[in-house]
Amino acid sequence: MKAVIFAGGLGSRLSEATVSIPKPMVEIGGKPILWHIMKTYSHYGINDFIICCGYKQSIIKEYFINYRFHNCDISVDISNGETRILDNHSEPWKVTLVDTGLNTMTGSRLKRVQKYVGGEPFLLTYGDGVTDLDIADTIAAHKASGKVISMTVYKPQGKFGSVRIDHATGEVLSFLEKPDGDGNWINIGYFVCNPEVFDYIPEDDDTVVFERGPLETLVKDGKVQAYKYRGFWKCMDIMRDNVELNEMWDAGKAPWMIW
């Protein structure tokens, strides 16, 4: 089974870092967040990846082309330029890197990699969120649902504590630290898709936002299953998120490190 990862956006809300590198290459613990996402999939035996590149795609391509040199010990003989890998830490990954355009929207990016996906079910996610999600269970639940696409949904915590008050007397009755946001479930990606998904995306149109037209039409057709998840998930949307994820990693308390 292949995993498709969106990695082509501008990452404008993380502009402090993405002015020089694409968002999926922003690091947690010295490794790109893209690497962390791929390690999660690989833990469940998913080792065939299709990366939808766009903004500063050459940096992503260079990373994987020279992956062994980035991640292994090497010996270089300066006199003749000979390079030897001393300790191979390479992954069992096949990575297909596709130029899906600079300003292309998510649905159109997905359509552009259809020929590499083929006619089998596949996984799909964004290149900016880490989780301890059981990928194998999402696949099993999708197969059991009979739907065209399964979407992992999550109920985030609120940013602030909640206070329950007796409005007649003003007495504070209870305090709940960081309750579930507004009670709504949100789409966090980590989709499982049947190839019929591509039928909902038009050809030769770079403006198709996957989460709007195609996904909304699939919902209207009764083809989408929600996979409710209550474990750990965090999106690296702004620099504060990156700082928090690095603090978790440095403290040895990174819930997504399941490998």
Q: What is the pLDDT of residues 213-253, one digit of tens each?
A: 999 999 999 999 999 999 999 999 999 999 999 999 999 99
Asked whether residue 165 is domain-assigned, the answer is no
Write down the pLDDT at residue 82.
92
The structure tokens listed for 8 are 């082509």
Residue 70 φ/ψ, nearest 5 degrees:
-75, -25
Asked whether residue 208 is domain-assigned, the answer is yes
What's the average model confidence in pLDDT over 87-102?
92
The DSSP output letter for 180 is: B
**Whether pLDDT at 137 is above 60:** yes
Write down the pLDDT at residue 77.
93
The structure tokens listed for 129 are 């969120």
Burial classification of residue 172, based on how many CB atoms lie within 10 Å of its CB (0-12 exposed, 13-18 middle, 19 or more buried): exposed
Asked whether residue 89 is domain-assigned, the answer is yes
Q: What's the rounded Cα separation, in Å, for the pair 34 and 52?
A: 12
Q: Which helix (H) or strand (E) holds 67?
A: helix 67-71
Q: What is the pLDDT of residues 165-186, one digit of tens each?
A: 777 876 666 666 555 555 689 9
C-alpha gyration radius of the chain: 21
Cα–Cα distances in angstroms (integers) from residue 76 to residues 10, 66, 90, 143, in the given order: 36, 15, 18, 50
Asked whether residue 32 is domain-assigned, the answer is yes
The structure tokens listed for 14 are 């993380």
Asked whether residue 178 is domain-assigned, the answer is no
Nearest CA to 41 out of 152, 151, 124, 153 is that of 124
Q: Which residues contact 187 (CB under 8 A, 6 or more apart)?
A: 151, 152, 153, 211
Given a contact cutoff of 8 angstroms between Cβ atoms, the answer to whether 52 and 116 are in contact is no
What's the average model confidence in pLDDT over 3-32?
93
Say which CATH number the domain at 30 has: 3.90.550.10
**Whether pLDDT at 161 is above 70:** no
Domains in the chain: how many in total?
Answer: 1
The structure tokens listed for 205 are 């149109």
Asked whether residue 160 is domain-assigned, the answer is no
Asked whether residue 173 is domain-assigned, the answer is no
Given a contact cutoff of 8 angstroms between Cβ atoms, the answer to whether 250 and 29 are in contact is yes
Show the domain range for 132.
2-155+183-250
Q: What is the DSSP string of 125-146?
A: EETTEEE---HHHHHHHHHHHT
What's the average model confidence in pLDDT over 13-22?
88
Neighbours of 24 (CB within 10 A): 31
How does residue 35 score in pLDDT terms, banded at 50, 70 and 90?
very high
Asked whether residue 28 is domain-assigned, the answer is yes
